Amino acid sequence: MTVNSMCDEDLPDHDLAKDFYLKYEVREVLGKGVSSTVRRCIEQDTSHEYAVKIIDLTSEKDSDFETEELRISTIKEMNILRMCAQHPNIIELHDTFETSTFIFLVFELCKKGELFDYLTEVVTLSEKRTRQVMRQLLEAVEFVHSKHIVHRDLKPENILLDDNFNVKLSDFGFASVISHEEELTDLCGTPGYLAPEVLKVSMYDNVPGYGRPCDMWACGVIMYTLLVGCPPFWHRKQMYMLRAIMEGKYSVSSPEWEDISEHPKDLISKLLVVDTKKRYTAEQALAHPFFKREEREEKPEFFPRRKFIAGVLVVVAISRIRNLHLHPPPVALEQVRHDPYSIKIIRKVIDAGAFKIYGHWVKRGENQNRAALFENMPKRDIKCSQSDEATAPKQIKLVGSSTTSTPGTGPGMLRQRSNHALLRSGRPSLPTVPDD
Ligand SMILES: Nc1ncnc2c1ncn2[C@@H]1O[C@H](COP(=O)(O)OP(=O)(O)OP(=O)(O)O)[C@@H](O)[C@H]1O
């Protein structure tokens, strides 16, 4: 039985959205946003599957002004999505419908969901897999930037995966079109992914605005997270985290990094650069040696002698690995007692075990708490409740995408995602990050 034939209170009225229902058959819910529900749907004429984002313009809106504001921002997002059409790694907006209270955005269907969920499942990605994901992400970002668009909210939650695990960049809700010289000055994005210049612009006078490089910083954060399963900047106290971001202070010294080669570390170090002029662009990042290996993998040439030697080496390696498996090298009991996490095989068991029990990471790394970072809480409006205020950094206000508004007081009563704080400057002076 389809949802069309069921009585589903969540769905917009049939008479109101006749045009949409004539063309599409609505199926199960895929996910929910603050003011929207995403459902699978089927185009009647072609039987093709899509994902329809049904935006309720009136849901939890206190005034016509807010409804209108949401309509305007959705139309802006639609226009930006149309500017980015035809790129294989950017979500395709297939169709749109509008009523007085709902907007329907019909997108290509990404059956594998968010990169975030995939990462939660696999904990970390191999270098090879990271290379594939980052190449596609950077190609999407390069394209977006070539259209003078800044995305401003790059993170694994906004990267969808299709049937073949290809990247589809989505959620252009904070994206902005900028002219050549123009700089942005409003503070929006997700705390752990915010670039230093985005933070600075809201904290100090006489600092320049920001532009495309802020997306490249976020790419660095994403790449780091994919490789080791925890973010480069995290601290229980958000102010410490913001300070670390401003100073570009991150570490690649935890045990996980020992398994990772130099190229990815080098590329991350070219992206997480505080000075925007020195930070890599998407084009420069794609030319980095980290991606050269993939090119070679894609077009293998045939060298019989090398192939033979490689074959022999593989046989030798396999027999060594087999030996190692049968007779593993001894591990000092002292080390197992005092620092079990430093032993790779035990580390994997700990991570996998913790993951099985808690459903997410619980490991505490250097100033990091995976559980807290990866809590993918249901999205909700912030009305700056008391508990929000208690947890928010003292000198930073949580506000909506309209920088002129105040939480809970009218037009600016806007949304906050799970870890998606929109920050507005109260000119905080940040404490120094402790070394522990
Ligand atoms: N094209 C798609 N294919 C498959 N699933 C999708 C697609 N688009 C969204 N989803 C799923 O629906 C969920 C909600 O999507 P939505 O875009 O409304 O979330 P959001 O962008 O986080 O919300 P908001 O825009 O209100 O902040 C996503 O988390 C994702 O899992």
Binding-site positions for ATP: 53
Q: How close is the Cα of 31 to the center of ligand 1, in Å?
A: 6
| Ligand 1 lined by 160 (C-beta under 6 Å) | yes
Low-confidence stretches of the chain (pLDDT < 70) are 1-9, 60-62, 293-301, 352, 354-436
Q: What is the largest CA-CA distance in the chain?
A: 75
State the pLDDT at residue 369.
45
Type of residue numbered 222: I
Q: What is the pLDDT of residue 429?
A: 40
The residues that are catalytic are: 153
**Which residue from 10, 37, 38, 415 has its CB within 8 A of the most atoms of ligand 1, so it is best to mutate?**
38
Q: Of all residues in the chain, what percent are helix, strand and coil, respectively (each to 5)?
A: 40, 15, 40
- 429: CA distance to ligand 1 center in Å? 36
Q: Is 173 in the pocket of ligand 1 (CB under 6 A)?
A: yes
At 11, list the tokens.
Answer: 């769905």
The Å distance, Cα 159 to ligand 1 centre, comes to 10
Q: Is 241 exposed, middle or buried (0-12, 13-18, 19+ CB in 10 A)?
A: buried
Q: Ligand 1: which of 26, 41, 49, 53 to mutate, most ligand atoms within 8 Å of CB?
A: 53
Please tell me the predicted confidence (pLDDT) of residue 238.
87
Per-residue CA distances from 209 to 3, 206, 212, 427, 432 (Å): 47, 9, 11, 16, 24
Q: Is 107 in the pocket of ligand 1 (CB under 6 A)?
A: yes
User: What pLDDT score does 398 carry?
Assistant: 31
Which residues of 209-322 form beta strands (DSSP E)?
none
Contact 96, 103 (CB under 8 A): yes
CA of 246 to the centre of ligand 1 (A): 30
What pLDDT is attached to residue 46? 97
Residue whose CA lies nearest to ligand 1 atom number 4 = 110
> 109: Cβ below 6 Å to ligand 1?
yes
Q: Is 33 in the pocket of ligand 1 (CB under 6 A)?
A: yes
pLDDT, residue 305, reads 79
